[in-house]
A and B are shown apart, each in its own frame.
Chain A
Amino acid sequence: EAQVTQNPRYLITVTGKKLTVTCSQNMNHEYMSWYRQDPGLGLRQIYYSMNVEVTDKGDVPEGYKVSRKEKRNFPLILESPSPNQTSLYFCASSRVASGANVLTFGAGSRLTVL
Chain B
Amino acid sequence: DAKTTQPTSMDCAEGRAANLPCNHSTISGNEYVYWYRQIHSQGPQYIIHGLKNNETNEMASLIITEDRKSSTLILPHATLRDTAVYYCIVRPNSGGSNYKLTFGKGTLLTVNP
| Closest A residue by C-beta to B97 | A50
Name the distance in Å between B8's Cβ and chain A's nearest Cβ: 13
Main secondary structure of the interface of A (DSSP, over half): strand
A105 to B49, CA, bound (A): 16
| Inter-subunit contact B94/A99 (CB<8 Å) | yes
What per-residue 1/0 map shows which CB atoms of B49-86 lie under 8 Å from chain A? 10100000000000000000000000000000000000
What per-residue 1/0 map shows which CB atoms of B84-113 lie under 8 Å from chain A? 000000000111101111011100000000
- Say whether B25 faces chain A, with CB atoms less than 8 Å apart: no
- Say whether B43 faces chain A, with CB atoms less than 8 Å apart: yes
- Say whether A19 faces chain B, with CB atoms less than 8 Å apart: no
- Say whether A7 faces chain B, with CB atoms less than 8 Å apart: no
| Inter-subunit contact A104/B46 (CB<8 Å) | yes
| Inter-subunit contact B49/A90 (CB<8 Å) | no
Specify which of B34, B93, B101 is in contact with A99 (CB 8 Å cutoff): B93
| Inter-subunit contact A45/B100 (CB<8 Å) | yes
| Inter-subunit contact B93/A100 (CB<8 Å) | yes
A48 to B96, CA, bound (A): 13
A interface residues, Cβ below 8 angstroms from B: 4, 31, 33, 42-43, 45, 48, 50, 56, 58-59, 88, 90, 92, 94, 96-108, 110
B interface residues, Cβ below 8 angstroms from A: 32, 34, 41-46, 49, 51, 93-96, 98-101, 103-105
Q: A94-B99, A108-B41 are in contact. List 13 more A-B contacts (CB 8 A).
A: A31-B99, A33-B99, A42-B103, A50-B96, A56-B98, A58-B100, A96-B96, A100-B93, A102-B49, A104-B46, A105-B43, A105-B44, A108-B43
